[in-house]
A = this chain, B = another copy of it.
Amino acid sequence: MLCALLFGGPLCVSAQTAAMAEKYPLGDYEELTDTKPHDGAEVWNALKKPVGLSWGDTDTRYKKLDVPKVENNTLWRAKAWKGERVNGQAVLWTAEALDDVTVTVSDLRGSGRVTIPASAVEASFVRYVMTDELNKGGGGGCGHRPNKADWDSSVVADVLDTVSVRDLKPCSAQPIWVNVRVPQDAAPGTYKGTLTVSGKNLKPMKLRMEIGVVNRTLPEPADWKFHLDLWQNPYSVARYHQVPLWSREHFDAMLPLMKRLAAAGQKVVTASIMHKPWAGQTEDHFDSMIGKTRKIDGSWKYDYTVFDKWVDFMLNEAGIDGQINCYTMIPWALSFDYFDQATSRVQFVNAEPGDSAYAAYWLPFLKDFSRHLRGKGWFEKTAISMDERPMKAMQEAIKLIRKADPEFKITLAGNYHDEIQADLYDLSIPYTHKFPEAVKAQREKNGQISTVYICCTEAFPNTFTFSNPAEAAWLPVHAVAGDYDGVLRWTYNSWTADPLRDSRFRTWAAGDCYIVYPGNRSSIRFERLIEGIQNAEKIRLLRGELKANGNDAGLKELDETVALFTPEGLKKSQMEPEAMLVQLQELLNTL
């Protein structure tokens, strides 16, 4: 691709070439081969009917080459609040090749002339992606995975495709994910409609849908209080789409992806204020969004062009405007980039927090950054963000930030530290780690945010591509149960080299790097996460309502159910997360 060579980076603005489309598909694509043992021809040929269609459930990743274990269930019944999105899953399976299969949905009709229009229902073919497994012998999914052959790999259903016409191979299953967005102005009551699967050589097959709309309203995602923080990686999007970084084409490619994130209730914009804030750990490393030039007279010049464009885009186009988290003053590799006017090269300061060289690099920047942010009206939203580092380093960094501007917000995605927690506007700590009760209360009173941090560490609950889909929905309720303000997942879209087909990466269990797919494709994981966030919001609203109404019994029942979503609750109840969710959702829709 000539244009990509032009300036050493993804500078080509032309349409994807054929080679690139194959490397980075946005439209249809071939999945990797499922090499696992599966139902043979004798099983498929023994089917009474060569093609089957049934409702399944949203907790199952149906296997690609097995006859799905579903009852012939033709009715999907769900309950939802006005404004809520609900998920269902059907499965089509066939012993014969099917061509040009499409799925259509009807309007869902309520009593009288009210409807949930078909346009509010999204039916997606579920696609298969290569995954691996947890670390052997337990202990989550962290660590390096240089040799793929060392890990048990298989294809799993996760991608929600945007391609609407598919050919199915003989002896294969094709799950269909259904997402119904109940309008906020829908009249309560029962809405009924149909889902129709048809094809060139397939007579239309129908399933029924029935959504019971409860007379309670879930606000728009922007008004959700749940603090969702999935780190965005704009560099991955530029690479995958082969568009020049920060060009209009780049922003156009990001817009649906970031709007999808906004619609999940995301509150935070991820910004990088140095080269490789996480030592380039992802397939596409983060560069600095702020240019720092050291002039030959020793003075500094800062270029906020990229930072401003990115933040402005996220705030005003994508609609994510709660917070701007700027990484990082204490990366793992204490090496800080600047463009050196003397040599016309990028040079690095190697210095530790507390060193005079560290202060010489950061202090003038932080002062100028504060001035710039105040000028843009963004200062109140912006935080200087850190990852877990040695205590002394964090303390020295905080000291310096305060010196530059005492009002700077500071965030940490790390462990709980009594010594510095009061300084941290937003502190995210791992599952099972805890804030002391009094500290949590004080933080809430101060308007400080406390969240649960999910990365490779947790075997459960997590959102790897092989994770039980229910875990994604379980997690936000867990945050509510622990009185946290939300959840931080360390990445939204740090795509792997071939993210649509292979979610494995050189480090960490597969799927850890991203939860949505290229081509603005959602995933089972992401939709279930949103389900969990909606539950969190519903709990919050119901608690308020029950308190206001003095409904102590209802409040107690709700609190008891929510309390299940804790390590202790899991242990004591011996319930599966799926069952907890069923119990909770039934309660949230009937209380």
Contacts and interface: CB of A to CB of B under 8 A. Distances in A.
Interface in A317-343: 337-343
A6 B245 CA distance: 31
20 contacts: A5-B350, A5-B357, A6-B357, A6-B360, A7-B340, A7-B347, A8-B349, A247-B296, A275-B345, A287-B343, A287-B344, A289-B344, A296-B306, A303-B341, A303-B344, A306-B342, A339-B339, A339-B344, A344-B346, A346-B346
A364 B456 CA distance: 48
A564 B8 CA distance: 54
A9 interface: yes
B296 A6 contact: no
Given A295-B305, A296-B306, A305-B295, A244 B9 contact: no
A294 interface: yes
Nearest to A285: B343
Contacts of A237: none
A6 to B, nearest CB: 4
Interface residues of A, number: 43
B7 A338 contact: yes
A291 interface: yes
A393 interface: no
B291 A341 contact: yes
A34 to B, nearest CB: 38
Contacts of A338: 7
Contact of A296 (B296, B305, B350): B305
Given A7-B338, A345-B346, 11 more contacts: A6-B356, A8-B347, A9-B340, A244-B342, A245-B342, A275-B344, A288-B343, A288-B344, A296-B306, A306-B342, A346-B346
Interface string A1-17: 01001111100000000
A115 B339 CA distance: 56
A29 interface: no
A290 to B, nearest CB: 7
A98 interface: no
A118 interface: no
Number of copies: 2
Interface in A333-387: 337-351, 356-357, 360
A38 interface: no
Contacts of A151: none
A309 interface: yes
Which of A5, A244, A337, A340 is most buried by chain B, counting CB atoms within 10 A of its CB? Answer: A340
Contacts of A340: 7-9
A306 B344 contact: yes
A125 to B, nearest CB: 35
Nearest to A235: B343
A460 interface: no
A362 to B, nearest CB: 13
A291 B360 CA distance: 23
A565 to B, nearest CB: 42
B343 A9 contact: yes
A313 interface: no
A439 B486 CA distance: 81
Contact of A290 (B344, B345, B348, B350): B344
A416 interface: no
B341 A296 contact: no
Nearest to A309: B296
Interface in A1-50: 2, 5-9
Contacts of A9: 340, 342-343, 347
A295 B305 CA distance: 9
A346 B345 CA distance: 6
A338 B94 CA distance: 57
A349 B6 contact: yes
A278 to B, nearest CB: 16
A246 interface: yes
Nearest to A11: B298
Contacts of A245: 296, 342-343
Contacts of A306: 296, 341-342, 344
A286 to B, nearest CB: 10
A32 B344 CA distance: 37
A289 B337 CA distance: 20
B291 A349 contact: no
A296 B250 CA distance: 11
Cβ-closest 9 pairs across A and B? A8-B347, A245-B342, A288-B344, A287-B343, A246-B296, A6-B357, A291-B344, A246-B342, A8-B348
Nearest to A272: B344
Contacts of A5: 350-351, 357
A365 to B, nearest CB: 13
Contacts of A344: 275, 287-292, 303, 306, 337, 339, 346
Contacts of A350: 5, 8
Contacts of A294: 7
Interface in A264-310: 275, 287-292, 294-296, 298, 303, 305-306, 309
A333 B128 CA distance: 45
Contacts of A275: 344-345
A305 B8 contact: no
